[in-house]
Amino acid sequence: MEVAEEVNHKRDYVRQFSVMLPNKVGAFCALARMLDSKGIAVVGLSLQDSSDATVARLVLSDPDAAEELFIEQGIAFTLSKLVVVRIRESGNDLKKCLMTLHEAETNLDYAFSLTVQHQGRSLLALHLEDLEFGASMLNQAGFTVLYENELLR
């Protein structure tokens, strides 16, 4: 039974936290300091700003500890799953990735790069309409899809 759980854990997609922050100077800095104080690093970040609030999309080095910390501190958040693919910094990998998703007719909601690398390659986080299908199509096209346990900790 433990073996089945371990195999299943290996295929967990990367978790993304979305946190609503006030649109004021230092709001994200305070959040980053709080995470850092618990040894949690921000390894992916996308900020979407508006006049009254900012949505911070975060990939964190220890999502389990981050979830506990957010609950403990009363910080509202949502969790989403991301497909993370390894791409070359130069060349046609980005175009090939986007074309693969387009040809598969799966929607890409948004994407952002991560601040860490894997085996010397850049990482692209993708929020897709259908994670399983999109990951399968990217894998068939020759992309390496990384799962949470391969990327973090």
Residues 109-141: pLDDT tens digits? 999 999 888 888 899 999 999 999 999 999 999
pLDDT for 48 equals: 87
* In the chain, domain spans: 2-80, 82-151
State percent of the chain over pLDDT 70: 92
Q: What is the signed CA dihedral for 121, 142, 107, 146, rounded to 10 degrees?
A: -50
Whole-model pTM? 0.85
Confidence of residue 150 (pLDDT cuts 50, 70, 90): confident
Place of tokens 């990482």: 123
Domain made up of 82-151: CATH architecture: 2-Layer Sandwich (3.30)
pLDDT for 22 equals: 86
The reply to whether 2-80 and 82-151 are identical in fold is no
- Count of CB atoms situated within 10 Å of the CB of 122: 18
What's the CA gap between 61 and 42, in Å, rounded? Answer: 6
What's the CA gap between 45 and 59, in Å, rounded? Answer: 6
Overall CATH class of domain 2-80: alpha beta
State percent of the chain over pLDDT 90: 70
